[in-house]
Amino acid sequence: MLEITPPLGFIQMSSTVWTYIFVTITFFIYLYIGWRSRVKETSEFYVAGGGVPAIANGAATAADWMSAASFLSMTGLIAASGYDGAVYLLGWTGGYVLLALLLAPYLRKFGQFTVPDFVGKRYYSETARIVAALCAVFVSITYVAGQMRGVGLVFSHFLKVPVEYGVVIGMVIVAFFAVLGGMKGITWTQVVQFFVLIAAFLIPSIALSKMLTGSYIPQVGFATGDVHERVDALHTELGFKPYTEPFTNRSQLNVFLTMFALMAGTAGLPHVIVRFYTVANVRAARYSAGWALLFISLLYTAAPTMAMFARYNLLSTLNGAKVASIEEVENEEGNKTGQKIYHLAAVGEDGTEKPIHWINTWQLTNLIVFDDKDGDGKISLQKDGKDYAEATIDKDILVLATPEVAGLPGWIVAIVATGGLAAALSTAAGLLLVISSSIAHDLYIHFIDPEASEAKRLTVARIMILAAIVVAGYFGIIKPGFIGEVVAFAFGLAAASFFPIIFLGIFDRRTNREGAICGMVVGILFTGGYILACKANVILPFLFSEPLITPILPGWTEGGISPESIGAVGCGLNFIVTLVVSRLTPAPPEEIQQLVDDVRIPRGSHAPEAHFDESDAEADNP
C-alpha cells in the first residue's frame, strides 16, 4: 500500500473552499477581460483586428489547443490504456507540428478571416464555401461537446451537483464572455487561461514526482525512477497485461489509423487555424507557432508522467480497501434512492485503518461506483473483462482525482479543478467563435443579407454562438464517449473534410473547385456516417437501442476499425476523390494557379538561374 504523506504544507482549508476561491477569482478575471474587450466591429470579433502580439497569440493558441481533452481526458486515457493511450499524445503533438510548419504560414498569406473564406477564394466557388462552412460547424460542434462535458465534470465535483447541471452552468459562463468579446476577448482570456491551466497541471505533477521518485522534475523522475516497474507488477498481479506493453488495448491497425486521423485532423482544425489570422503578418504567424509549440510541450511532456503516477496511486490505494460501511442515499423527501455509497478504509501493513474520504463526492455523482460482489468486505480491482471486478471508474476524472488520491493539500486539489475549467472554457470559446463565423460570416452575410450593417452582423454572430452552445450542451449531457474519444471524433471529421483540401489548395495548383467540393462531401459524409453507425444508440438513444452497424457486421464495434480511427480512411477517400475529379474536369483559372504559386514562393525570391544574371543583382539583394 502506498504511504501517503503530503509533501507540501499550506494553510489548512478544505479543497472545496479553495476551489470556490480560485474559481471565483479566475472567473472574475475572465469576465473582466471579456467586458473590457467588447467589440463593435466584425474584424475585431472574428480575428481580434489582426493585431495580437506573437507571444500572446502563442499562449492563446496553446490554451485553445490544450482543451479538456488534453488536460483531463488524455492523461486518463493514457493511465487507463497504458502504452496504447499514448496514441493521443503522439497524434495531437505531431499534428500541431504539421500545422505549424507545413500549413500555417501559407494560410496566413491568403489573409482570409476563416477557413471557409480560404476555401471560397482558393477554389473560386461559393458552393465550396458553403460546404466548408457546414463542415466547420459539424466539426466544431462535435469538438465543443467534449469541452462542455469537461466543464460539467468539474462543476459537478466541487458544487456537488449532477454532471448535467454542471454542463448547464458551464454553458452560461462560456456564453457570457464568448458573446461579449468575440475573438478579441477570447484571445486575452485564453492568455490568462494558459497560465492557469499549465500551473494547475505542473504543480501536482511536480508534487507527485517528488513523492514517488524523489525528483522535482516529473520527466526526470519518469525516466530514472522505478514507477513503471511497480505499475507493471501491479497490473500483472491484478490480471492485466503490463502497463508498458504495446497493443494490449488497441490493435496495431487502430493505433496507426487513430494517430494519423489525429495528426491530419489537427492540421485541419478551423479554430486553431483561425488563430494565425489574428497576428499582423506572416513573420508573426511563424513566431506565434513557435511560442505555442514551446508552451504546449510543457504539458504534453508531463502528461505520460502524470498518467503513470495516477495509475499507480489509484491501484495501490483502492485495491484491497476495506468496506467500513455502506450507506443508501436518500432524496429530499427522505425516501431511499437505491444509490449506494461505500465508505472505504485503507489498511496499512500494521493493521491500522485510514478512511478514504475522497471517493465520497465522486460516488455521489456516479463517476465512481463500487460493488462488493463477493461480499468479502474488500474492494477488488482484479481484471474482469475489460474493467475492474468491483469498481467502475470514469477515466475522465483521473486528473481531477489524483491530487486527492495522493493526499495532496486542498489548494492543489482546487487549482487542478480551476485548471480543468480553464482548459475546457478556453477551447470551447474558440470553437464557438468558429461556429458563429461559419454561419454568420460565411453563410448569412454572403447569401442572405450582404448589405447587413455592422451591428446586425454582430447580432447574428452572437445569436449563432448561443444556438451552438445549446446543441453542444445536449451532446455534453448525453455523453457519446469519454472526452478524449468525442474530441477524437471531431479530429477525424476535420481530417476527412479539411486537411486534403487545405494541403492540395497550397501545394497542387491543378486541384479545382469540382474536386474540392466532391472531396469534402465524400470525406465528411463517410466519416460522420460511420461514427453514427457505430454510436447511434449513444448519440440518439431515443431512436436506436443498438449500433446501426451491429445487424450488418456483428462484433464489428469490438474488433473492427474504431470510430476514433475512421477519419484516416475518410481523409484518404477525400484525397483520392479530389485528385481524380480535379484531373477529369477543367483546370482552375490562370489567376488562381498564379495565386497558389505566389503563396508558396517567399517574397523577393526568383528563379535559380537569375543568380547567374548580373542584371538581376538587385533581386539577389532585395
Angle 290-291-296 (CA atoms, 0-180°, nearest 5)? 100
3-state secondary structure of 391: strand
Q: Rounding to the nearest 10 degrees, give the CA dihedral for residues 452, 432, 501, 608.
A: 90
The helix (run of H) or strand (run of E) holding residue 314 is helix 303-318
Q: Cβ(407)–Cβ(5) under 8 Å?
A: yes
Q: What pLDDT score does 280 carry? A: 76
Identify which of 471, 480, 501 has the alpha carbon closest to the alpha carbon of residue 133: 501
Q: What pLDDT score does 140 carry? A: 84
Read off φ and ψ for residue 323, nearest 5 degrees.
Answer: -80, 105
The pTM of the full predicted model, rounded to 2 decimals, is 0.82
Concatenated DSSP letters of 89-141: HHHHHHHHHHIIIIIHHHHHHH--SSHHHHHHHHTT-HHHHHHHHHHHHHHHH
Count of Cβ atoms closer than 10 Å to residue 602 Cβ: 8
Q: Cβ(68)–Cβ(151) under 8 Å?
A: yes
User: Which grid cell is 387?
Assistant: 474493467
Using the 8-state DSSP alphabet, how is residue 437 labeled? I
Instruction: Please report the beta strands in 203-331, taking only residues with DSSP state E, as ranges in sequence order.
Output: 322-330
Sheet holding 322-330, edge to edge: 322-330, 336-347, 353-356
Across the chain, which has 622 residues, the per-10-residue mean pLDDT values are 44 76 85 70 61 84 78 82 85 84 77 77 91 87 81 78 83 73 71 88 89 88 86 89 86 91 82 75 81 89 88 89 90 80 88 87 86 91 86 85 85 86 77 77 77 79 82 79 79 92 93 96 95 86 85 80 93 97 95 87 55 46 38
Identify which of 476, 515, 458 has the alpha carbon closest to the alpha carbon of residue 168: 476
Distance CA 82, CA 14 (A): 32
User: Which grid cell is 272?
Assistant: 486553431
Read off φ and ψ for residue 335, nearest 5 degrees.
Answer: -90, 145
CATH class of 15-38+51-315+411-600: mainly alpha
Identify which of 290, 448, 418, 355 has the alpha carbon closest to the alpha carbon of residue 29: 418
Q: Cβ(500)–Cβ(574) under 8 Å?
A: yes
Q: Cβ(269)–Cβ(433) under 8 Å?
A: no
Count of Cβ atoms closer than 10 Å to residue 539 Cβ: 18
Q: What pLDDT score does 1 carry? A: 40
Distance CA 70, CA 391 (A): 25
Whole-number Cα distances in Å, 51 to 46, 56, 60, 437: 12, 10, 13, 19
User: Residue 602: what residue type?
Assistant: P
Longest dimension (CA), the chain: 94
3-state secondary structure of 375: coil
Q: Which residue has the cell 476535420?
A: 494
User: Residue 438: what residue type?
Assistant: S
Identify which of 468, 340, 344, 326 has the alpha carbon closest to the alpha carbon of residue 1: 344
| Domain range summary for the chain, segments of one domain joined by + | 15-38+51-315+411-600, 320-379
Q: Cβ(35)–Cβ(449) under 8 Å?
A: no
Identify which of 377, 266, 381, 366 has the alpha carbon closest to the alpha carbon of residue 319: 381
Read off φ and ψ for residue 324, nearest 5 degrees.
Answer: -75, -40
Concatenated DSSP letters of 541-590: TTT-SS-TTTTTSTTHHHHS--TTTHHHHHHHHHHHHHHHHHHHSPPPPH
3-state secondary structure of 353: strand
Q: What pLDDT score does 391 carry? A: 92
